[in-house]
Amino acid sequence: MKWLVSLVGAGLVMVTLRDLFHTLWHPTRHGGLSRLVMTALWRLARRFRAPGRVVGLVGPLAMVTVVGMWTVTVVLGWAIVYWPHMPGAFTFSPGSQAAQEPALLDSVYFSLVTVATLGLGDIAPGEDWLRLVSPLEALVGFVLLTATVSWVLEIYPALTRRRVLALRLALLREAGPTTRQLDCTAGALLLDSLAGEVARVRIDFTQYAEAYYFHDGEDHSSLAAMVGYATVLTRHGQAARRPEVRLAGALLAGALEDLAAILDQRFLHTGGPSTAVFAAYAADHGRDGAQP
């Protein structure tokens, strides 16, 4: 029975590590529990029509919630592993009152100290297998800390790329280039660079799906509000006379179609064309979208 309880705790740890792996390191970032938490917080904020400042906190708060969930489940999982063997399989420092506490409390305490790599020493594993297992928990704690820092360092550059693209589209919309103005080498280069930026944002939504739940703020820096204008630029490019401009317009159109497919597959589930997907994207982020 003791080993069955320990296996339950080990299973809880493995589920957490799997979720961490699929959220941070898997190429397609198909997280399980973390994705459910972030989606639930986003929909809750949208359902109650929270003001912009509150919605802007959803992404950071969701990340903190997910990291807290991982930490709690790892600590509890290892505590359940130790619980059936506490206190007999452990040694206590002289004068320590820990042995007089409930076994579950001592297990949670020892697990928390170990995962935080504090090594206070008032409780130490006594059996050989525990002396091998407890350092493994410390290693998991170090991995969890490193993964959290890496997650933060990865997500914000992706948000920057998205907002830079939105700002470029906002500036272009204000300039209002015509088909004739884009029908030149500079126009082809412009459309080609926009296609590259859209493709990078598409990859960001694939690898950093949690970036979707970050609110971009002002309309001019919101891709949800500005992406609709990119379709206007594709029509200008495809209506041009120069073949290189038409090719660049086709590349931008293809990149937008690919971006819409990812947004619809991962988040929106409209099943409609790209225009409908972008409209749903704008509505989900509280924007009207850029109209032609």
Do the beta carbons of residue 189 and residue 252 sit within 8 Å? Answer: no
Q: Which pLDDT belongs to residue 148?
A: 87
DSSP string, 28-77: T---SHHHHHHHHHHHHHHHTT--HHHHHTHHHHHHHHHHHHHHHHHHHH
Q: Bridge-partner residues for 65, per DSSP?
A: none
Q: Which pLDDT belongs to residue 234?
A: 95
Q: What is the pLDDT of residues 231-275, one digit of tens each?
A: 999 999 999 999 999 999 999 999 999 999 999 998 999 999 999
C-alpha 292/C-alpha 242 separation (Å) is 23
CA-based nearest residue to 167, from 93, 80, 230, 95: 230
Q: Which pLDDT belongs to residue 252?
A: 97
How many residues are present in the chain? 292
Q: Give the list of residues 6+ apart from residue 264 with CB closer than 8 angstroms, or none.
A: 270, 271, 272, 277, 280
Report the interhelical angle of 103-115 vs 128-175 (nearest 10°): 60
Please list the helix, strand and coil fractions of the chain in percent, rounded to the nearest 5, in that order: 75, 0, 20
Over its C-alpha atoms, the chain yields an Rg (Å, rounded) of 26
Do the beta carbons of residue 287 and residue 222 sit within 8 Å? Answer: yes
Q: What is the pLDDT of residues 141-150, one digit of tens each?
A: 998 888 888 8
Q: Which pLDDT belongs to residue 28?
A: 59
pLDDT-flagged residues of the chain (< 50): 289-292
Q: Which pLDDT belongs to residue 292?
A: 46
- Buried b or exposed e, range 253-277, using 16+ CB within 10 angstroms: bebbbbbbebbbebbbeeeeebeeb
C-alpha 144/C-alpha 147 separation (Å) is 5
Do the beta carbons of residue 1 and residue 80 sit within 8 Å? Answer: no
**pTM score:** 0.81
Q: Which pLDDT belongs to residue 27?
A: 56
CA-based nearest residue to 84, from 130, 139, 140: 130
Q: Which two tokens stand for residue 159?
A: 């948000």
